[in-house]
Amino acid sequence: MNIRKAIEERFLEKIEMDNELISKEFDESAYDFEKAQKAFEEEDYKWSIVKSYYSVFHSAKAMLFALGLKERKHFAISIVLEDLNLRGKLESIYVNDFKAASSAREDADYHYSYSKKSALHILEIAEEFNDKMEKLVKEL
């Protein structure tokens, strides 16, 4: 599915670019990342994974807002990331990392499948992904 089709099917919506919304999403991302780190330190690996995913989710939403888009379903973010990759604006590792974080969160939340190793991996993904989203927003 491409962005045009996602808009037609109302998984994405066009909005006015709003710097305040972008800033708010990056603040939420930083808050969730901090909570993910703390949960990891406290050996609460499930919560660390969940918060790491939401950190990634919010930084991705900030990037969507910079493009004048708003997601209505979490998977729609992947559509935008894939489009940016096809256009040479984003390396494929970030598309894969978003999907990995999403999958890990679903496994932790719905299948009770998580570990210290997976929590550390998703925490590392979140840190790199969030840095990339901040750089990308400045380039847009």
> pLDDT tens digits for the chain (140 residues)?
899 999 999 999 999 999 999 999 999 999 999 999 999 999 999 999 999 999 999 999 999 999 999 999 999 999 999 999 999 999 999 999 999 999 999 999 999 999 999 999 999 999 999 999 999 999 98
Residue of 100, 106, 107 lying closest to 124 (CA atoms): 100
* Domain encompassing residue 56: 3-139
Dist. CA 68–CA 101, nearest whole Å = 24
- pTM of the predicted structure, to 2 decimals: 0.94
Phi then psi dihedrals of residue 46, to 5 deg = -60, -50
Question: How confident is the model at residue 122, as a pLDDT?
Answer: 98
Dist. CA 106–CA 138, nearest whole Å = 31
Question: How confident is the model at residue 140, as a pLDDT?
Answer: 82
Number of domains the chain contains: 1
Dist. CA 66–CA 125, nearest whole Å = 22
User: DSSP character for 11?
Assistant: S
Question: How confident is the model at residue 5, as a pLDDT?
Answer: 94
Paired strand residues for 69? 14
Q: What is the CATH number of the domain that holds 134?
A: 1.20.120.330
Paired strand residues for 14? 69
- Cite the DSSP H helix spans in 90-139: 92-110, 116-139
